[in-house]
A and B are shown apart, each in its own frame.
Chain A
Amino acid sequence: MPIYQLKIQLLSDTTFGRGDGVAGLIDQEVEHDPYGFPYLRGRTLKGLLSEECDNLIAVLSNPKQDWGKVACQLFGTVGSTLGTMGAVHVGDACLPEDLRQAVAFQIEEKILTKTEVLDSLTTIRRQTAIDSESGIADEGSLRSFRVVLRELCLTADFIFEKIPSNEMLSVLAVSSLALRRLGSGRNRGRGSVRCTLHDSEGNDITHQYANIFGTQIKEKAA
């Protein structure tokens, strides 16, 4: 079963929101596992990649339909039948497995707590809205949100049941390159990321397959 990996390097502090907060402390909490490690859900990641793929294909001229078919085969189409399922299974983007296992052991031995783990990988930022006339903070506008600290690198597995075609991998590669912002506040400085596609041996194959995409577009357009 071929497995590829997407490595997501956080270039700025990022909030993978989970839709709720902690009353009295944080308005927006990040998604984290039972051991306090932040992660990006596979469902969210798949949606982000699929969106970038759609945006790229929309600007193509001649081979749009062909690439559209490849994207549908890769990510699937709406519906829950065997025929509409995508070829790729997108896993959660997590921190290294060996580190998570070691810390999980320590939490079970009560050497560490989940809160300590979360606090060591994240911090809390606060912001207010500024009144445009008075120039001071709007009353009641103070909000706090947790951010995952920049420079961390998360890895998500892409599992295929059959060997994927070069077209599928090239679509995945360009979608990864196109994915530069994710999470909450992505248009306000947070969530800047760099994504790279790797094979099962850890080799970076992003540009190799992105070049294939470019070459094929040129050939088909010519």
Chain B
Amino acid sequence: MKAITLSLETQQPILATSFQGDPNSDVSYPYIPGSMIRGAIIGRYMRQHNLSELDLASKEVKRLFFDANSTRYLNAYLLSQEKHPQRTLPLPLSWFKDKDAELKEDSPITVYDFSIDKGDDPETPKSVGEYFWAKKGRVVNLYKEKRRINIHNFRDRQKGRSTDTQGELFRYDALDAGQKFQSIILCEDGDATAIHMLLVTEPNIWLGGSQSAGYGHTKIIDLEILNDWDEIRKPAEDREGKENLSITLLSDTLLRNECGQPVADPMLIKQAVEEVLNISDISLLKPSNIFASSTLIGGFNRKWGLPLPQVPALAAGTVIVFEGIEINESQIQQLECYGIGERREDGFGRVVVNWLEEKTFQISLPDSSNTSSLPPLKKESSHLVAEQMAQRLLEQKLEQYLQKQVGRLSLDEGISNSQLSRLQSVARQALPNGDCNLVISLLNNLPSNARNQFERTKIGNKSFREQLDEWLGNPTDWINGIKEVRIADIERKFDDDRAREDKLAEKYTLRLIMAVAKKATKEKK
């Protein structure tokens, strides 16, 4: 049996619809289901062989796509953020933390595995939550998928808009772009090359719903065939001969009861294990610990254009422990290789035996600090947009600073509204060109009565005339609280060459004068 590791990077959001959400929402699974990967590979096989229909009588087709004992397409779970990234796994439901413990970066908290030993600690246990995990040294890092939520509406094709009968608003809650996942394809030795060739020819692959309209584009970033592969990176020989037998589900598992009905009953795991191993030793034993959850499984068949029947299933992370039963290495390998239950070719029914050993350990969120440097701009058009953005941002900061200054300043009594209006009028005239000389000329040629009004009116602890002379003489002096603005590698300051060319400081000084005068006029009223 060979394993093909398939690493995927999402270029667009992926819509892998589950049954969560209301009827007008499509909420994606937190991973890329194996069924989706299998479907995409079937599509590729058909295109490569120029087939409009699959030949179900073909042994190769049956082996590659429809025989769970030959080929299994495992779910693509998140890749960890490490130098040598590894495929994360669903969190076991037997892990609990203290109710008040908060998960943070660089601040590990203690987690207790109740399937090993349910001691007195913690006093108020709470489930850790829905995460994926990978071990980094002695600490377990938890990962959560990023999502993008978009709202769409249904428009009538002919009318081009929503109508009374058709116009539903619906929401897509999809896996966001820019994330890395890893799936595993378990296959027979002879088929590994064929599957590898299907994948290696073209790195772009489309997965999930709404593929032709902004969703589903994924890139295969790494592909490797392995002879020796273990889902939990711990050999079976290290896990045999233990006192208890613990079974942990690494993916959702579909099991049927004796009446043939699919049910989410953890006790059915015992029967399924017996069937796979062809033993009856564990039939008389009852489980000592069960940590289980159920979910609803469905899917969509693109060949039929119809959804699959919904069935209940045991959720990934379910743990069941049997006391006093031993299992040997080959039995562990068989169970873990083939899995249990139905739809194993789609990645359901993955199990691991005697996996967890530590009663307590530390968990943390991964370090998200960025050690890379600012990426450079490559295109001329990007530079133009960055310059426009920097200019607008600078103007917005100046605007905010201006408002703050105007709020702080106020004129005392002593100047008439007519003088203030005249000042505003001349400043407005000077504004388009940033020509402060117009206002300076006005102030220098005032008749004596008007001049006295400007000199005796105080603003702060200075006369209004003095303040105006300072502002107009050195327009940049009052703008000293604004830092430079940086968009990519474009840097702008209020007194750089371009700002001087545009007379930005002069224009804002004139606006300051206008605003102060207007404020004084309004306050008098």
**Which residue numbers of A lie inside 8 Å of B, CB to CB?**
1, 18-20, 31, 34, 41-47, 50-51, 54, 75-76, 78-82, 84-86, 88-92, 95-96, 98-99, 101-103, 105-106, 108-109, 111-112, 116-117, 119-121, 149, 152-153, 159, 161-162
Contact = CB atoms under 8 A, between A and B. Distances in A.
Interface in B165-219: 169, 176, 202, 204, 206, 209-217
Contacts of A41: 150, 152, 213-214
B155 A47 contact: yes
A158 B176 CA distance: 20
Interface in B294-312: 300, 302-305
Contact of A95 (B378, B385, B393): B385
Interface string B266-310: 000000000000000000000000000000000010111100000
B157 A51 contact: yes
Interface string B23-37: 000000000000000
Interface of B: 12, 43, 46-47, 148, 150-153, 155, 157-158, 160, 169, 176, 202, 204, 206, 209-217, 300, 302-305, 370, 372, 374-379, 381-382, 385-386, 388-390, 392-393, 396, 486-489
Nearest to B169: A19
Given A75-B212, A81-B303, A99 B43 contact: no
A80 B300 contact: yes
A89 B217 contact: yes
Contacts of B376: 98, 102
Nearest to B305: A81
Given A120-B390, A120-B487, 14 more contacts: A1-B204, A19-B169, A20-B151, A41-B152, A43-B215, A51-B157, A89-B206, A89-B212, A89-B216, A96-B381, A98-B375, A99-B377, A121-B389, A153-B381
Given A46-B212, A75-B212, A89-B211, A98 B377 contact: yes
B486 A91 contact: no
A159 B205 CA distance: 11
Nearest to A39: B214
A145 to B, nearest CB: 16
Contact of B389 (A31, A54, A120): A120
A152 B384 CA distance: 10
A128 B378 CA distance: 43
Contacts of A109: 370
A85 B381 contact: no
The main secondary structure of chain A at its interface with chain B is mixed
Given A85-B211, A99-B386, A161-B47, A112 B374 contact: no
Contacts of B211: 85, 89
Contacts of B213: 41-43, 45-47, 89-90
Most buried by B among A47, A81, A102, A112: A102
A94 to B, nearest CB: 11
A88 B153 CA distance: 21
B385 A86 contact: no
B212 A76 contact: yes
B302 A82 contact: yes
Contact of B382 (A18, A99, A117): A99
A41 B215 CA distance: 10
Contact of B210 (A43, A99, A105, A121): A43
A41 B210 CA distance: 12
B486 to A, nearest CB: 6
A129 B366 CA distance: 52
Nearest to B383: A99
B389 A91 contact: no
A103 B488 contact: yes
Contact of A18 (B151, B209, B303, B377): B151
22 contacts: A1-B204, A42-B12, A42-B214, A43-B150, A43-B215, A46-B214, A51-B157, A75-B212, A82-B46, A84-B305, A86-B212, A89-B211, A91-B217, A101-B375, A106-B374, A112-B486, A112-B487, A116-B396, A120-B388, A120-B390, A161-B47, A162-B47
